[in-house]
Chain A
Amino acid sequence: MGPIEGLLYGFGVALSLQNLAAALLGALVGTMIGVLPGLGPVAGVAMILPLSYAFDPVTGLIMMAGIYYGAMYGGSTTAILLNMPGESASVMTCIDGYQLTKKGRAGAVLALVAVGSFVGGTISVIGVMLFAPWLAQFGILFGPAEFLAVSAGGLLILSRISGGSFAAGIFPMALGLMLSTIGQEAITAQNRFTFGILELSQGVELVAAVVGLYGIAEILALVESRLAGPPPVPVRLREMMPTGTEWRRSVAPFGRGTLVGFVFGLLPGPSAAMSSFASYRLEKAVSRYRDEIGHGAVEGVTGPETANNAAATSSMVPLLALGIPFGSVTALMLAAMMVHGIQPGPLLMQTNADVFWGVIASLYIGNVALLALNIPMIGLWVSMLRIPRHIFLPIIVVIAVIGSYGVGNSMVDVYVLVLLGVVGYLLRKLDFQLAPMVIGLVLGPLIEKHLREGLFMSDGDAWVFVESPIALAIWAMVALVLAGSALAPLLRRRRG
């Protein structure tokens, strides 16, 4: 099936009433999650994961994708109106977004961000549509050695470039891998590290772990301060029309942001946050209005916001084409596929064409839904910011507990939620990165599987992992990135 045929088939899948409703609901819930503090895209998608098991796999995945890019957009609302990033990808948006709000341009900027997110997401979908099948064809050549190189190497790169020091990435990654070894081992069904607790034989429940690390930890951080933020400025629909100059100045950042975001989405790491940072730096370097950036320029908002939505979309490529997630949200989507018995990987396009093309087509629909929802509903999103903290925090905790218990009807999962909430809070305090921990937890079983399969198939010859040119090239790239990231600070110090 070629890209055009595949896309038409995907639209046939995604435009069913159930899937259309899932895309719309996902975009709506995602925006709400992004707007409210306490839950970011990762915890939001994790909480919806158990609900997705009740639907068929395509519907569940479509809803999860909708929540992801909805939350990316929602996070920008608090950044622009309150100078509070709803999630890490909106940090750069605060700088110029809040300055523009103080100049009375909040409505226009929110509209430009909605359009930019639509443009970035939609063009990125075209890239996904063309690139993912090509990568999947290439991925058919992969055996255990190549998959081990992509998954273990990708995890190493992610831990190194997630931000912070070497230890800040590698320590949580190792903890995530350690958690992944708890429970029944796949090949011989032997229980490991369960200490006689029957419920642990199913392993550490991903939903509980992720909601604890991101949700409970964030709530503990939020209550550190008694003060609530400033009230948001009211935004009326008639204030949302940007001026001709604002439109003109946004066109080039839309294009640049899309390109930057698409490329970053294909790489391991927190692609949405990294792409918005890179896009901001790019705008500061090349924009005609670079001197105004930092003091309230539309380029400083539209570029990064376009980029983070484009990255959210293109991050589906490694997941759909290789079955390897490079980010926390796509790791959760991988988990959803596996629960439904779908084997992610290069053959997904052939074995589950409805999933592959249905999810891609739903990205188009989701982007249209976001645009349609966000501009008319901006007043609602702003009014949600007025919900007092003492109301929405108990709601989030109650939902987190129900979500964690409901997956396996086990109190052990709820204990994991609380324990990892505390661990996440402490790790964040020390500037450790949480994404490598989540991805370590998800990729651990896959890495073990490829490692043991490779040794079985090669009759115990460990050289098999670096013998094939593809595996060797991947490991060389990993070594290059790791060496580059280690040497860069030394070079910067030498240059003074």
Chain B
Amino acid sequence: MGRTHGKGRAYLATGAAGVALSAGYLATARHLPLGEMNQPGAGVFPAIVGILVLLASLAVLWEGWRMPRDATVEFPAGADALRVLGLLGLIVAYVALLPWLGQVAGSFLFCLLLIRLLSDTGWVRAAVQAALIAAVAYFVFIRLLQVQMPRGILGL
């Protein structure tokens, strides 16, 4: 079962994040040349977009403020939340370690841990399944399709 939160509050938080983002974006865009009307510079379009993001964020805030109290948004809780966070953590670790571990070892470890996270499969069986996935991905993408991936410690 998930945990419900007020959708209005979620919109207010999103809108506030959008306002902060647009402020940072517009502040950075200020350093770009605006040029003249007949010679518009590289800063013109970002200035328009920054204002659009700001207006859109204000619209999110407005809708959040006007949202009925019974409007809710459901996020996973308990074991379900742990599974989502676990997957996210595994993806982040996979990506962070990819240059060092390389595609083959990185994929193997990621698949092994994800299979364990999502099922009751034993370690040996999970390792065989993970090795198969990593091997097939290696042969199809790196050997056959010649995709250049980080080789890492195994040099594969």
The answer to whether B18 touches A394, judged by C-beta atoms less than 8 angstroms apart, is: no
The answer to whether B88 touches A422, judged by C-beta atoms less than 8 angstroms apart, is: yes
| Min CB gap B154→A, angstroms | 16
Please name all residues of chain B whose beta carbon is closer than 8 Å to the beta carbon of A193 when the two chains form the complex: 25, 28-29, 46
Please name all residues of chain B whose beta carbon is closer than 8 Å to the beta carbon of A245 when the two chains form the complex: none
The answer to whether A430 touches B98, judged by C-beta atoms less than 8 angstroms apart, is: no
The answer to whether A452 touches B114, judged by C-beta atoms less than 8 angstroms apart, is: no
Interface of A is mostly: helix
Please name all residues of chain A whose beta carbon is closer than 8 Å to the beta carbon of B10 when the two chains form the complex: 429-430
The answer to whether A188 touches B38, judged by C-beta atoms less than 8 angstroms apart, is: no
The answer to whether B98 touches A224, judged by C-beta atoms less than 8 angstroms apart, is: no
A370 beta carbon closer than 8 Å to chain B: no
The answer to whether B18 touches A171, judged by C-beta atoms less than 8 angstroms apart, is: yes
Contact A170 B107, CB 8 Å, known A190-B42, A402-B147, A402-B149 = no
Contact A223 B40, CB 8 Å, known A390-B115, A390-B119, A414-B98 = no
The answer to whether B73 touches A187, judged by C-beta atoms less than 8 angstroms apart, is: no
Mask: chain A, 385-427; 1 = CB below 8 Å from B; 0 = not = 0001111011101110110011001010011011001100010
A422 to B95, CA, bound (A): 14
Q: Give the contacts of B79-131 with A (CB-CB under 8 A).
A: 79-80, 83-84, 87-88, 91-92, 94-95, 98-99, 103, 107, 110-111, 114-115, 118-119, 121, 129-130
A177 to B145, CA, bound (A): 33
Contact A167 B63, CB 8 Å, known A223-B84, A455-B37 = yes
- Contact partner, A223, options B28, B57, B118, B130, Cβ 8 Å: B118
Q: Give the contacts of B60-91 with A (CB-CB under 8 A).
A: 60, 62-63, 73-76, 79-80, 83-84, 87-88, 91
A455 to B33, CA, bound (A): 16
Q: Give the contacts of A427-479 with B (CB-CB under 8 A).
A: 429-431, 444, 447-448, 451-452, 455-456, 458-462
A260 beta carbon closer than 8 Å to chain B: no
The answer to whether A399 touches B87, judged by C-beta atoms less than 8 angstroms apart, is: no
Please name all residues of chain B whose beta carbon is closer than 8 Å to the beta carbon of A51 when the two chains form the complex: 145
The answer to whether B87 touches A219, judged by C-beta atoms less than 8 angstroms apart, is: yes
- Contact partner, A181, options B46, B84, B114, Cβ 8 Å: B46
The answer to whether B76 touches A224, judged by C-beta atoms less than 8 angstroms apart, is: yes
The answer to whether B83 touches A395, judged by C-beta atoms less than 8 angstroms apart, is: no
Interface residues on A, range: 35 or more
> Taking CB as reference atom, which chain B residue is nearest A225?
B80
The answer to whether A171 touches B147, judged by C-beta atoms less than 8 angstroms apart, is: no
The answer to whether B46 touches A192, judged by C-beta atoms less than 8 angstroms apart, is: yes
The answer to whether B115 touches A406, judged by C-beta atoms less than 8 angstroms apart, is: no
Please name all residues of chain B whose beta carbon is closer than 8 Å to the beta carbon of A390 when the two chains form the complex: 114-115, 118-119, 121
Contact A224 B73, CB 8 Å, known A192-B42, A402-B103 = no
> Taking CB as reference atom, which chain A residue is nearest B148?
A409
| Min CB gap A256→B, angstroms | 36
The answer to whether A391 touches B115, judged by C-beta atoms less than 8 angstroms apart, is: yes
Mask: chain B, 14-37; 1 = CB below 8 Å from A; 0 = not = 110010010001001100110011
- Contact partner, A430, options B14, B87, B111, Cβ 8 Å: B14
- 26 A–B contact pairs at CB < 8 A? A167-B11, A167-B63, A170-B55, A185-B42, A193-B29, A223-B87, A224-B80, A226-B83, A390-B118, A390-B121, A397-B110, A398-B110, A398-B134, A401-B107, A402-B147, A405-B98, A406-B148, A411-B99, A418-B95, A421-B91, A422-B88, A431-B73, A451-B44, A452-B44, A455-B40, A456-B38
Q: B-contacting residues of A (Cβ < 8 Å)?
A: 50-51, 54, 165-167, 170-171, 173-175, 177-178, 181, 185, 187-188, 190, 192-193, 216, 219-220, 223-226, 388-391, 393-395, 397-399, 401-402, 405-406, 409, 411, 414-415, 417-418, 421-422, 426, 429-431, 444, 447-448, 451-452, 455-456, 458-462
